[in-house]
């Protein structure tokens, strides 16, 4: 037991007096903290519009060599996937969608879901002196390919034939 003269000081240091917080004030403070997150994406974010909807797009990569040409057609888009084993390629319909930092396409080729993503950024194929304005990711079923891309409006720079 503390001496009578120290008890009030010691108890107030350990157990400060609490004042009740009203639930509406607490809820407003909590909601305010949730809506002021730096870098928050809102529905007001404008979709990427750096590639014209009428532009043809070529995605390509090495190791393994692959090529995907996407062209606007009446009512949609067609894509042709080529490899050294299939130089004629396989053509299939794709749908276009714009994200926050690029353009994507999805479709179906021989029962495999195909998703292509094109994003702005300097890119090199690592085998030529060409520079490309976009990076590319192509997912086909369980396989993922990485490479570069260019459009009919924004071609690659460097030699025509590597």
CA-to-CA distance for 104 and 115, rounded, in angstroms? 7
**DSSP secondary structure code for residue 157 in this structure:** B
Which pTM does this prediction carry? 0.70
DSSP letters spanning 42-61? -TTPPPP-SS-TT--EEEEE
Digit-by-digit pLDDT tens for the chain (162 residues) are 444 444 444 444 444 454 454 444 444 443 444 444 555 656 667 788 899 999 999 999 988 899 999 999 988 999 999 999 999 999 999 999 988 889 999 999 999 999 999 999 999 988 888 999 999 999 999 999 999 999 999 999 988 765
> What Cα–Cα distance (Å) separates residue 38 from each residue in 33, 34, 35, 45, 141?
11, 10, 9, 14, 36
Structural contact between residues 68 and 138, judged by C-beta atoms closer than 8 angstroms: yes
């Amino acid at each position: 037991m503390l001496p009578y003269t120290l008890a009030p000081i010691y108890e107030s240091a350990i157990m400060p007096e609490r004042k009740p917080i009203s639930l509406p004030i607490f809820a407003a403070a909590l909601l305010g903290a949730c809506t002021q997150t730096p870098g928050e994406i809102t529905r007001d974010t404008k979709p990427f519009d750096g590639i014209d909807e009428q532009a043809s797009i070529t995605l390509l990569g090495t190791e393994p060599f692959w090529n995907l040409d996407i062209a606007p057609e009446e009512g949609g888009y067609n894509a042709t996937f080529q490899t050294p084993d299939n130089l004629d390629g396989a053509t299939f319909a794709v749908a276009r969608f714009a994200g926050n930092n690029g353009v994507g396409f999805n479709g179906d080729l021989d029962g495999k879901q195909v998703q292509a993503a094109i994003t702005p950024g300097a890119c090199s194929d690592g085998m030529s002196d060409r520079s490309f304005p976009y990076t590319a990711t192509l997912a086909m079923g369980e396989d993922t390919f990485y490479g570069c891309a260019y459009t009919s409006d924004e071609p690659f720079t460097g030699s025509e034939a590597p």
